[in-house]
Amino acid sequence: MSAIDALIQDTNHLNIAPNRGLSQNNSTKMTNVMKNNSTAGDDWKKNLSLPPKDLRVRTSDVTDCEGKEFEDFCLKRELLMGIFEMGWEKPSPIQEAAIPMALSGRDILARAKNGTGKTGAYSIPILERVNPELDAIQALVIVPTRELALQVSQICTDISKHLKLKVMVTTGGTGLKDDIIRVYQKVHVIIATPGRIIDLMEKRVCKMEHCKMLVLDEADKLLSQDFTRMLDKLISMLPQKRQILLYSATFPVTVEHFMKKHAIDPYKINLMDELTLKGVTQYYAFVQERQKVHCLNTLFSKLEINQSIIFCNSTQRVELLAKKITELGYACYFIHAKMNQADRNRVFHDFRKGHCRNLVCSDLFTRGIDIQAVNVVINFDFPKMSETYLHRIGRSGRFGHLGIAINLITYEDRFNLQKIEQELGTDIKPIPKEIDRTLYVATHHEEKNENES
């Protein structure tokens, strides 16, 4: 018997309590919450620990709303407190469309741009619907990368901090023994990568009898050949009656096939009137391969970078470029899939905290990573696929803010550039000698507005 199997056997006496709360009538619950919220007025808001107000300009990607408030969704007071303390003032268009339908228990197929609030669109309803009194896993969020799992779990933990429920993250590359111990310490919501959660489910550590909500974030990636068989196996271990919520920016045919197979009359949301973010201005510069580092050095000296992400097409080139940038005298981190998990976690955490201005990475970092301070994305190597390009440039201009994407194009890339422009219906312009700072620097935009007024 392995040490892991022995640990599982030792903890079998910690049985999950029977279902005591998932059959509660939603309409009665909403009515009670509404009464509680209205009786005390807005006094509870005065005691909230709110972050500084974000005064940066935002585009219609997130401002083109119907005018709803988070209170209109009849959420628990404690959940509203967490939402407002995150600095989320009003729901974005995807949140307005998805939250009410998700609260009703309906399956959802939602398509919206990168950086427009998809995480909030599913985390708010699942945290609202979880019953803290029921000692069981009630919601499962599946994401394709470990970094995204850490980010989503942090968001869920932050907005649920006033609720008496436990959010747990589990991914490959970390100790399975530690995860087993944490599962038996009462967990309501799990954020996971597919391989690790299936391992825990097959070992009967994660008991899913009461897991009635499944979220697939970055669904197009999860339903690619890398993961699709895993997801079929995962769903076979969930209850027959469950709610499935799929969110992504791009929806290949595999997503439609999956929903026909597993979902019941899904509510479809498509907010993709165009594919690229309105706040991201895109440029290209024709260079020879040997000129790329020199061109990058010039960009660093001319641009007003808050934080930048630089993409390469291979892990080997990531490390080589990071070394070159450091030799040029610029602070630089790097991250890729072949690094050990502890190093990846440290780089991800420190870059999010703003400890370094520049990050060189592979496409590991294109999925859902939300770092608000990033205002410049550089494709040191131009991608071959339009979906990869879309997700890369979506790391800039998060939540309606401004940013630029600069592509270094060699002679071999010229046809790819045209193809991606056509497929995405976007305009990638030749880089000018001077880039208008109001296009990507929030403070310059504010100064311009003040001068005009």
**Segment 241-267, tens digit of pLDDT:** 999 999 987 777 778 888 888 888 899
d(CA 432, CA 445): 19
d(CA 297, CA 301): 6
Mark which of 249, 270, 291 sits at the end of a domain.
270
Same domain, 285 and 415: yes
Looking at the domain assignment, is residue 275 inside a domain?
A: no
Residue 274 binned pLDDT confidence (cut-offs 50, 70, 90):
low
The residue with greater pLDDT, 26 or 230, is 230
Same domain, 133 and 209: yes
Cα separations in angstroms, 312 against 47, 203, 308, 364, 429: 46, 38, 13, 10, 21
What letter represents residue 341's amino acid?
Q
d(CA 268, CA 8): 41
Which domain CATH number covers 423?
3.40.50.300
Looking at the domain assignment, is residue 393 inside a domain?
A: yes
Nearest by Cα to 16 from 168, 251, 197, 184: 184
Same domain, 265 and 298: no
Same domain, 62 and 99: yes
| pLDDT for residue 25 is more than 60 | no
Nearest by Cα to 228 from 245, 201, 253, 204: 253
Same domain, 207 and 262: yes
Strands 374-379 and 307-311: parallel
The residue with greater pLDDT, 113 or 143, is 143
Phi, psi dihedral angles at 134 (to 5 degrees): -90, 115
Residue 344 structural domain? 280-452
Q: What is the mean pLDDT of the chain?
A: 84
And the tokens for 248? Answer: 């992504």
The residue with greater pLDDT, 219 or 312, is 312
Handedness of CA 351, 93, 82, 58 (dihedral sign): positive
Long-range contacts of 149-153 (CB under 8 A, 24+ apart): 149/191, 149/192, 149/193, 150/345, 150/348, 151/119, 151/368, 151/369, 151/370, 152/119, 152/123, 152/191, 152/217, 152/368, 153/191
pLDDT computed for residue 272 by the predictor: 73
Nearest by Cα to 159 from 101, 99, 238, 243: 99
C-alpha angle with apex 322: 321 to 323, nearest 5 degrees?
A: 90
Residue 190 binned pLDDT confidence (cut-offs 50, 70, 90):
very high
Same domain, 229 and 312: no
Range among 263-267, 319-323, 400-404, 423-427 rated most confident:
319-323
Looking at the domain assignment, is residue 124 inside a domain?
A: yes
Same domain, 25 and 114: yes
Contact between 243 and 106 (Cβ < 8 Å):
yes
Same domain, 400 and 317: yes
Contact between 71 and 214 (Cβ < 8 Å):
no
What letter represents residue 295's amino acid?
C
Looking at the domain assignment, is residue 239 inside a domain?
A: yes
Looking at the domain assignment, is residue 448 inside a domain?
A: yes
Mark which of 240, 270, 300 sits at the end of a domain.
270
Contact between 94 and 110 (Cβ < 8 Å):
yes
Q: Mean of the pLDDT values across residues 175-192?
A: 90
Angle between helices 414-424 and 386-393 (to 10 degrees): 80
Same domain, 24 and 88: yes
Strands 243-248 and 213-217: parallel
Contact between 149 and 192 (Cβ < 8 Å):
yes
Nearest by Cα to 417 from 403, 431, 404, 427: 427
The residue with greater pLDDT, 34 or 253, is 253
And the tokens for 93? Answer: 């268009």
| pLDDT for residue 421 is more than 50 | yes
Nearest by Cα to 394 from 384, 379, 405: 405
Mark which of 200, 235, 270 sits at the end of a domain.
270
Same domain, 248 and 312: no
Q: Is 279 helix (H, G, I), strand (E, B) or coil?
A: coil
Nearest by Cα to 80 from 119, 45, 104, 31: 45
pTM of the complete model: 0.76
Name every residue whose Cβ is closer than 8 Å to that of residue 35 and which is 6 or more positions away in sequence: none
Name every residue whose Cβ is closer than 8 Å to that of residue 22 and which is 6 or more positions away in sequence: 131, 134, 138, 210, 212
Long-range contacts of 298-302 (CB under 8 A, 24+ apart): 299/378, 299/406, 300/328, 300/330, 300/358, 302/434, 302/435
Looking at the domain assignment, is residue 217 inside a domain?
A: yes
Same domain, 309 and 257: no
Same domain, 316 and 255: no
d(CA 344, CA 348): 6
Contact between 379 and 309 (Cβ < 8 Å):
no
pLDDT computed for residue 384 by the predictor: 92
Looking at the domain assignment, is residue 351 inside a domain?
A: yes
Looking at the domain assignment, is residue 255 inside a domain?
A: yes
Q: Mean of the pLDDT values across residues 141-163?
A: 92
Domain count, the chain: 2
